[in-house]
């Protein structure tokens, strides 16, 4: 088992971080995401999670943003029963299972082939799997191009250079007639600062992303994206579950849009 992991690149290995954060949320007394399956996978996978230097606020923030992305998917498919859903850089996230989609929809989980091999071993098959490098040209080939698409990318932006993330967005919106693209967005400052966090240091990698502060920036990527919503999660009702003093600090930050953009944030675009 261990050898399968040591062959992963640091970027691929980051999937253990988000898996572990979901597991820790589930083990907490009052979970936000409640993902029992991630907890189960984390317990049996045999990865040394202790080496990832996680701090409690990461558990809360990750659980909250993942829950919100789940809700965006559920809202989209409720209005588009023939939708395709894409989870870009799915890692070991059982999002398709959490979202429990209606039968007319098709779900595609995309990540590197090495990652999908681990996924197949530890997660029940609940979706189509596409093993590909998302910075390549042809990863959308097998995915229906005539249906509305809901595309989510949870924790992917930090690992792709700005140019590659923009190119990926153009490839996406060139493929589908219409849809939505939602992801957690970082500011340039967040991405710079993340390199000094225990987490990125323990993964022995640096962030590659460029980031943006103004959520309208992606409208200029040439990808037909129109901002539908910016979710500043410092303002989410679930902040009530954060322990003091983090709750008070988060609520203080919520007063400022500028500060909140540098925190836990999801952006959603229509195309
Ligand atoms: C932080 S993990 C997040 C995984 C998952 N979305 C989650 O929330 O648990 C980032 C994931 O993006 C994938 N990834 C990064 N760059 C990629 C690329 N160029 N092509 C495909 N997958 C990529 C990694 O392999 C990894 O699984």
Six-digit token string for 32? 């936000």
Question: What is the rounded average pLDDT of the residues 205-228?
Answer: 97
pLDDT at 4: 62
Q: What percent of the chain has pLDDT over 70?
A: 99
Give the pLDDT confidence score for residue 3 in this predicted structure.
56
Segments of the chain assigned E as strands: 84-88, 106-111, 128-131, 149-153, 179-184, 226-232, 265-270
Instruction: Judge residue 197's burial from the number of C-beta atoms within 10 Å of its C-beta, 0-12 exposed, 13-18 middle, 19 or more buried.
Output: middle
Measure 81 CA to ligand 1 centroid, in angstroms: 27
Measured CA to CA, the distance from residue 168 to residue 221 in angstroms comes to 10
For the segment 137-149, the average pLDDT, to the nearest whole number, is 95
For 75, 113, 248, 252, 266, the CA distances from 186, given in Å and listed in that order, are 24, 26, 22, 20, 9
134 lines ligand 1 (CB under 6 A): yes
**What is the model's pLDDT at position 1?**
46
CA distance 182 to 74: 12
In a mutational test of the pocket of ligand 1, which residue from 5, 13, 15, 203 has the highest number of ligand atoms less than 8 Å from its CB? 15
Q: What residues does 230 pair with on adjacent strands? A: 267
Q: Output the CA–CA distances (angstroms, integers) from residue 114 to 4, 5, 50, 208, 231, in the order listed.
A: 9, 9, 23, 21, 32
In contact, 203 and 14? CB cutoff 8 Å: yes
CA-based radius of gyration for the chain: 18
- Structure confidence at residue 200 (pLDDT): 87
135 lines ligand 1 (CB under 6 A): yes
Per-residue model confidence (pLDDT) at position 2: 52
Residue 38 pLDDT: 98
Asked if pLDDT for residue 123 goes beyond 50, the answer is yes
Greater model confidence, 245 or 205: 245
77 pLDDT more than 50: yes
Q: The whole model's pTM is what? A: 0.97
């Amino acid at each position: 088992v261990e050898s399968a992991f040591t062959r992963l690149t640091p970027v691929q290995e980051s999937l253990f971080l988000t898996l572990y954060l979901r597991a820790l949320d589930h083990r907490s007394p009052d979970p936000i995401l409640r993902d029992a399956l991630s907890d189960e996978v984390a317990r049996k996978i045999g990865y040394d999670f202790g080496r990832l230097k996680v701090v409690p606020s990461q558990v809360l923030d990750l659980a909250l943003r993942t829950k919100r992305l789940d809700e965006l998917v559920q809202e989209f498919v409720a209005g588009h029963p023939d939708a395709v859903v894409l989870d870009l850089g799915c890692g070991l996230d059982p999002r398709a299972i959490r979202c429990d989609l209606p039968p007319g929809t098709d779900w595609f989980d995309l990540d590197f082939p090495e990652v999908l091999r681990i996924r197949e071993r530890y997660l029940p098959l609940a979706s189509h799997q596409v093993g590909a490098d998302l910075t390549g040209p042809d990863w959308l080939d097998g995915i229906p191009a005539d249906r509305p698409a809901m595309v989510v990318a949870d924790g992917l932006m930090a690992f792709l250079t700005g140019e590659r993330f923009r190119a990926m967005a153009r490839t996406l919106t060139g493929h589908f007639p219409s849809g939505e693209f939602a992801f957690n967005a970082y500011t340039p400052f967040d991405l710079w600062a993340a390199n000094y966090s225990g987490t990125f240091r323990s993964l022995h990698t640096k962030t590659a992303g460029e980031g943006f502060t103004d959520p309208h920036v992606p409208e200029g990527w040439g990808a037909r994206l129109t901002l539908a919503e910016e979710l500043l999660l410092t303002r989410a009702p679930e902040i009530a579950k954060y322990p003091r003093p983090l709750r008070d600090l988060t609520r203080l930050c919520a007063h400022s849009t500028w500060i909140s953009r540098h925190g836990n944030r999801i952006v959603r675009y229509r195309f």
